[in-house]
Amino acid sequence: MSSYFADFASLFEQFDVFQAFWVNIQLTFFAAIGSMLLGTVLALMRVSPIASMRWLGAGYVNIIRNTPLTIILVFLVLGVWSQLQINLSSDFNQNFFRYAVIGLAIYHAAFVCEAIRSGVNTVPVGQAEAARAIGLGFLPSARLIIFPQALRGAITPLGNTLIALTKNTTVAAAASVTEISALMKSMIEFRPDVIIAVFLTVAIGFVLIVVPVGLLTTWASRKFAVVR
């Protein structure tokens, strides 16, 4: 058994596991920002008084949410990069990192939009009516009255989306980003003797990253909840 642990330890000398996890964290960070921005705009569209905007928002959410993430990333790399030859960076590997961030942001924006929309639904309709009564238009009332309350009510679903995003960064391997799931494939290829340890390392790594996110979400949703 002790030799198994020695083999296991040598895994960390042979492969840079921490660097690979760091790539996943970076992907999560940038894609979270991107999907939050895009998702907020989509949510605005979906609750707007303009019918064509609502359709556009609903269309985006229904199409993207029902498309597998792998398909989106493979499309970006095989279609947009290889076929159309569009480079997002002069650095070869950075180019794929950016494609992966864009793909992840596009996909998760649909979920962020729905999370925020569920938050909007927690705001009593009287708030919107009061905003209209004092003469605020759609955008000012959304910015000043509705969304601040909606975001506070949407913390839990947004946290769930963030957790899903964190784990979905492993799909970035499909976009040629060397993150932990790509490294895991290398480790399985070269070190099949410690295959169980390889799986456990990756699984425990994700638990260590995701559990704090969950705890933070729970704490924040209590702290910032709108008491009604």
Contact residue for another protein among 69, 131, 158, 183 (CB under 8 A): 183
CB nearer another protein, residue 143 or residue 185: 185
| Positions in 12-51 near another protein (CB under 8 A) | none
Contact residue for another protein among 69, 173, 180, 209 (CB under 8 A): 173
Residue 138: alpha-carbon gap to chain centroid: 28
CB nearer another protein, residue 109 or residue 173: 173
Q: What is the closest distance, in whole angstroms, from the C-beta atom of residue 113 to another protein in the complex?
A: 29
Contact residue for another protein among 48, 149, 176, 221 (CB under 8 A): 176
Question: Which of 3, 2, 30, 8 has its CA nearest to residue 204?
Answer: 8
Q: Is position 9 an interface residue for another protein (rule: CB under 8 A)?
A: no
Q: Are 112 and 35 in contact (CB under 8 A)?
A: yes
Q: Is position 189 an interface residue for another protein (rule: CB under 8 A)?
A: yes
Ramachandran angles phi, psi of 27, nearest 5°: -60, -45
Stretch that binds another protein, among 19-27, 146-154, 159-167, 168-176 (CB under 8 A): 168-176
Instruction: Fill in the per-residue mask, 65 to 104: x = in contact with another protein (CB under 8 A), - = not in contact.
Output: ---------x--xx--xxx-x------x---x--------
Q: Is position 192 an interface residue for another protein (rule: CB under 8 A)?
A: yes
**Angle at the Cα of 107 (from 42 to 77), degrees rounded to 5?**
130
Stretch that binds another protein, among 117-125, 128-136, 148-156, 188-196 (CB under 8 A): 188-196
**Angle at the Cα of 46 (from 45 to 51), degrees rounded to 5?**
80
Q: Are 104 and 169 in contact (CB under 8 A)?
A: yes
Q: What is the closest distance, in whole angstroms, from the C-beta atom of residue 84 to another protein in the complex?
A: 9
Q: Which two tokens stand for residue 193?
A: 């003797």
C-beta contacts of 182-191 below 8 A and 24+ residues apart: 182/20, 183/15, 183/16, 183/17, 183/20, 186/15, 187/11, 187/15, 190/14, 191/7, 191/11, 191/14
Q: What is the closest distance, in whole angstroms, from the C-beta atom of residue 200 to another protein in the complex?
A: 11
Can you tell me the distance from the alpha carbon of 125 to that of 152, in angstroms, rounded to the nearest whole number? 16
Number of residues that bind another protein (CB under 8 A): 27
Residue 59: alpha-carbon gap to chain centroid: 20
Q: Please give the residue ranges that form the binding site for another protein (CB under 8 A).
A: 74, 77-78, 81-83, 85, 92, 96, 173-174, 176, 178, 182-193, 195, 199
